[in-house]
Amino acid sequence: MRIKTAAGWAALFVLALAAAMAGCGKKAEKDQDSAENFRVPDSLLTPIEGYGITIDDYHPVNGGVMANKDIELHYPASSIARFIVTTNFGVVFNARKKIEREIGRPFPGRIVIIGAKDLDEYRFLTRKEWWYYGVLQGDTLYCAPFDVMMKRFDVTSQRPVSEIALTQKMAQFALRNMSGDRMPLWMREAVASWIAGEKSILEVQAIEWGKELIGFNPPVEELDGYLRDASDRGTTRVSFFISYKMLENLLESHPMSAIMAFAGRLGEGADLDEASREIFGVDYATLIGTVRMKGEFMDYLGDALRDNSAPRGGN
């Protein structure tokens, strides 16, 4: 009788154990289903997954670097810089895609972008002031502090200056690459600003200096000099605007594709006159004579003069 009782208890124990295991299996399946149902969609995860990041390092003293095969972004050692690096890398990543689509590859190799820690460091690295976005040297762009540019907005386009500035500079990389660094500076700056959508900023900057720089409309050689030196805020900003207006005048008779072809011929070794005759039908001096502003730069500001109360970005 004891044997039968023991056997019965053993059978009951096996049945209970099997039932418990079955219950655990169902619970595990339910937990797995719940995990799948509540999984965060990829679209809500950090966009860093799509950037092809190969380097993502940070040092509390030396700062950090984030890079993929085309972009190497250096940022200073600060909690703010570390917090916003992914956003800034995304801006550069998207700017590069846009420029490669509209102009061509910005640079044969990887572009290095260095964001200054503060305006004092930026001034030391570039000899430029707060109002200038950044300086290109070879494969490297030295930028104003990213957090400073992110805080400033163009009220017309509702875009941060960081987006406009980095796109403008990326376009300049591509135009230098295409032309063998032989494109006239006024044209390179203007085309880069046109692609970056910087027009409203340039207009408001020019309005700021309307009274101080009455009659300012230098010959194109001097205009390039003002753009190259970028030492005086007023003459530099108005020179950017004048260059942009010259580009708009050129676009009235020739498409942007012709200007790209002009840059391409310069890159192939043609001089300014040869490339200008081939693409625009006239020598370079005649071309300049047809696109230069006639009269005061303030006369070309149009509707921008009606609403200039809000502060804008800077170059």
Query: All domains of the chain, ordered by start, with CATH?
Result: 35-179 (3.30.2010.30), 183-315 (no CATH)
For 40-44, 126-130, 179-183, which range has the lowest pLDDT when averaged over its residues? 40-44
Report the distance separating Cα 234 and Cα 209, nearest Å: 6
Report the distance separating Cα 126 and Cα 120, nearest Å: 10
Q: What is the mean pLDDT of the chain?
A: 84
The pLDDT, as a whole number, for residue 41 is: 44
212, 313 in Cβ contact below 8 A?
no
What is the end-to-end Cα distance of the chain in Å, rounded? Answer: 99
At 89, the amino acid letter reads: F
pLDDT > 90 in the chain, percent:
63
Q: Which residue has the higher pLDDT, 299 or 19?
A: 299
Where helices occur in 181-282 by DSSP H, the ranges are 185-196, 199-208, 220-229, 233-251, 256-267, 272-280
Q: Write the pLDDT tens digit of every residue in 225-279.
A: 999 999 999 999 999 999 999 999 999 999 999 999 999 999 999 999 999 999 9
For range 153-180, the mean pLDDT = 93
Q: Which residues of 172-202 are buried (b: 16+ CB within 10 A; e: fewer)?
A: bbbbbbbbeebbbbbbbbbbbbbbbbbbbbb
For range 150-159, the mean pLDDT = 86
The pLDDT, as a whole number, for residue 302 is: 64
Q: How far is CA 132 from the centre of its chain?
A: 14
* Pairing of β 71-75 and β 111-115: parallel
pLDDT band at 185; cut points 50, 70, 90: very high
Q: Write the pLDDT tens digit of every residue in 110-147.
A: 999 999 999 999 999 999 998 999 999 999 999 999 98
Angle formed by the axes of helices 185-196 and 161-179, to 10°? 140
The pLDDT, as a whole number, for residue 158 is: 85
Report the distance separating Cα 191 and Cα 15, nearest Å: 80
The pLDDT, as a whole number, for residue 295 is: 75
pLDDT exceeds 80 at position 203: yes
pLDDT band at 89; cut points 50, 70, 90: very high
The pLDDT, as a whole number, for residue 313 is: 44
Report the distance separating Cα 53 and Cα 50, nearest Å: 8
Residues forming beta bridges with residue 114, ordered by sequence position? 74, 142
The pLDDT, as a whole number, for residue 307 is: 54
The pLDDT, as a whole number, for residue 234 is: 93
For range 152-178, the mean pLDDT = 92
pLDDT exceeds 60 at position 156: yes
Q: How far is CA 133 from the centre of its chain?
A: 11
The pLDDT, as a whole number, for residue 18 is: 53
Q: Which residue has the higher pLDDT, 108 or 22?
A: 108
pLDDT exceeds 70 at position 311: no
The pLDDT, as a whole number, for residue 44 is: 39
pLDDT exceeds 90 at position 45: no
Q: Which residue has the higher pLDDT, 171 or 17?
A: 171
pLDDT exceeds 80 at position 173: yes
